[in-house]
Structure 1
Amino acid sequence: MKNLIYKAIAVLALSATFTACSNDDETISGTGNLAIEFDNSFKGDDLILDTQANTTVSNEVLKISSIKYIISNIVLTKEDGTTFTYPKSESYFIVNEADIATHVLNLKDLPAANYTKVTFGVGVDKEQWQAGATGQGDFLATAQAAGMMWSWSAGYKFVAFEGTFTSATVTTPVPFKVHTGQTGTDYNYTTVALDLKTKALVRSTITPQIHIITDLAKILNSTNVIKLSDNNPNGTGANIMGGANLPLITANVATMFSVDHVHND
């Protein structure tokens, strides 16, 4: 009887070994799709436009009426360290909190692979802008319709963050606008690289979804602390669209994204 038990255990162990080898030796080929979801929040709370009171680390209370940003130049890193760059002509997207259809970026025809990192730009890279109005393809009209252009000569708005705020010194709500983009000699385009907590298994039969949390609190309070009340000189509102604060805000923007999880189904 003992011999039969030992033989059964050996068969099970051998079967497990073959299964492990089979998984390790999986042949990955063909193409598949990938979705990237951007989920806007404020200090851990899901964002609600217009009514939600959001308190910054500077004790300013923001009611956010609009947040839009441009995501561009997506690059995916495989588990062997090689990369796939999504076609540049298709790699410009506007995430608009007010338009749920823009929250998920659907990428098509990626090489099937196990991906471990995603890299993207916030804004439109200078090389693309320098291609001129005729070199922008359909995205120029898309950006204009979304209000993400200052003018062609001034270029794109990379992040448009708007609402009202109060503080210890501003007791009646006044508007704020924070717009990043090209200003003077500062282009203010930034790149974000995020490791995935779980591999994104792109297959012809699997379309993974990478869920990215965007913490809007970090636009003003991260590497640099920016107070809206310090940018409200005449008491009628704070407009940050240039000057010394904009590169500081751009550095903050680079920190506001994090990967929450990856769905592989």
Structure 2
Amino acid sequence: MKTTKTLFAAMATALLLISCNSDDNAPTTGTGSLNIEFDNVYQSNNLILNTQPNTTSQNEVLKIGQLKYIVSNIKLTKADGSIFTYPKSQSYFIVDETDEASTTLQLQNIPSGDYVSVSFGIGVDQQQWELGADGQGNFLALAQSEDMLWSWSAGYKFLAFEGTFTSPTVASETAFMVHTGKTGTDYNYTTITLPLTNSALVRTDITPQIHIFADASKIIDGQNKIVLSDNNSGGMGAMIMGGENLALITANLSQMFTVNHVHNE
């Protein structure tokens, strides 16, 4: 009889533990927070500005001095397929490699749930820009202060990628500058959708962190190969701010971002 009672007690304890664990993992009501960290790298290496030599597949060696990009229109998809759209008025950020605080986006008031993918834009969408200067809220002043605006009529810089390079035909370090954004009739805005490595469990007491690698090598050395030497003219260095290359670079951005891992803490 004692053995039977002990067995029942053990089973009850086990069921209680399973129930508690199940409750801990179950989606709850309410809202929580979620962080998205953009970790800029070059291929398999951490990105180091100004001094790190980075070799492209075209045998050009880059020293990157600046990497900035606008992240916008964040959406999160739950395991059940439902989508939470972060409020548009709060959904514009500038990620700047020289400002560590800017590389982690802190999102608030996210409905509790298990999220399995994230999407975001690179740049400012045309609908937002068409609201005019008065319709940009505080973001216009931020973009101006961060030098991510050519002018109001010309529009935002979606991505700023700058530094120096050498190549088999360019022996001395020469400046390069790649800026994407609206050019003529081409808007060059792109949306990235990334599956998560594991679910981001947003709870009132759990703030997940989605760790995204942003591979700077893909900007000019992704599915489309942009040779800086071919754009080096007029004694100004390689300046790519318009023309057919911008559409090719925009297409490359779809390969630039990958989810490395998700922390649920």
TM tier, shorter chain?
over 0.9
The Cα of 1:101 is off from its aligned counterpart by 1.2
> 1:56-95 maps to which residues of 2 (within 5 A)?
56-95=56-95
Instruction: Evaluate the alpha carbon distance shift between residue 27 and residue 129 of structure 1 in structure 2; reply closer, same or farther with a 3 A threshold.
Output: closer
Q: What is the TM-score with the length of structure 2 in the denominator?
A: 0.93
Amino acid at match of 1:67: L
Alignment of 1:134-145 (within 5 A): 134-145=134-145
For residues 67-216 of structure 1, what are the structure 2 equivalents within 5 Å? 67-216=67-216
Q: Given the superposition, is the C-alpha separation of residues 22 and 103 from structure 1 closer, same or farther in structure 2, using an over 3 Å criterion?
A: closer
> What is the SS of the residue equivalent to 1:19?
helix
Identity of aligned residues (%): 58
Cα pair 2:27 2:113 within 8 Å, conserved:
no
Which whole-Å deviations, capped at 9, do the CAs of 1:167-194 have from their partners, x for residues lacking one?
Answer: 0000100000000000011100000000
Corresponding letter in the other structure for 1:246: L
- Which residue in the other structure is 1:222 paired with? 222
Please tell me the residue identity of whatever aligns with 1:126: Q
Q: Secondary structure at the match of 2:170?
A: coil
What displacement does 1:165 show? 0.2
Distance 1:163 1:29, change over 3 A: same
Using the alignment, how far apart are the partners of 2:175 and 2:115 within structure 1?
42
- State how far apart, in whole Å, the 2-side matches of 1:101 and 1:73 are: 20
Q: Do the aligned residues in 1 keep the contact of 2:27 with 2:203 (CA within 8 Å)?
A: no
| Counterpart residue identity of residue 221, structure 1 | D
Paired letter, 1:134: D
User: Could you say what secondary structure the match of 2:127 adopts?
Assistant: helix
Q: How far apart in 2 are the matches of 1:10 and 1:197? A: 39
Which residue pairs with 2:14 in the alignment? 15
Give distance in 2, aligned partners of 1:254 and 1:98. Answer: 23
2 CA distance for matches of 1:216 and 1:10? 58
CA 1:20–1:250 in structure 2 vs 1: closer, same or farther (change >3 Å)? same
Task: For 1:226, give the aligned amino acid.
Answer: I
SS of residue in 2 equivalent to 1:140: helix
Which segment is superposed worse, 70-79 or 226-235? Answer: 226-235
Structure 2 counterpart of 1:23, which letter? S
Give the distance between the partners of 1:230 and 1:113, measured in 2 at CA. Answer: 49
> Aligned partners of 2:242 and 2:153: how far apart in 1?
15
Separation of aligned partners in 1, 2:84 and 2:241: 34
Cα distance in structure 1, aligned partners of 2:204 and 2:20: 22
The residue type paired with residue 14 of structure 2 is S
Partner SS for 2:172:
coil
Secondary structure (helix, strand or coil) at the match of 1:224 reads coil
Q: Please give the root-mean-square deviation of Cα atoms over the aligned residues, in Å.
A: 2.2
1:18, CA displacement in angstroms?
A: 7.7
Structure 2 CA distance for aligned equivalents of residues 138 and 152 of structure 1: 14
TM-aligned CA distance change 1:27 to 1:194, over 3 Å: closer
Q: TM-score, normalised by structure 1?
A: 0.93
Number of aligned positions between the proteins = 264
Distance in 2, matches of 1:76 and 1:137, equals: 23
Q: Which amino acid in structure 1 is aligned with residue 171 of structure 2?
A: T
Unmatched runs of 5 consecutive residues or more in structure 1:
none
Report the alpha carbon displacement of residue 11 of structure 1 after superposing the two structures with TM: 5.5
Shift of 1:8: 3.5
Spell out, residue by residue over 1:52-72, the C-alpha distance to the aligned partner (whole angstroms, 9 max, x if none): 111111111000111100000
Q: Structure 2: which amino acid aligns with 1:200?
A: A
Alignment CA distance shift 1:10-1:81 (3 Å): farther
- The Cα of 1:155 is off from its aligned counterpart by 0.4
Aligned: 1:260 with 2:252: no
Does residue 231 of the first structure (1) align with residue 231 of the second (2)?
Answer: yes
* Deviation for aligned residue 1:236: 4.1
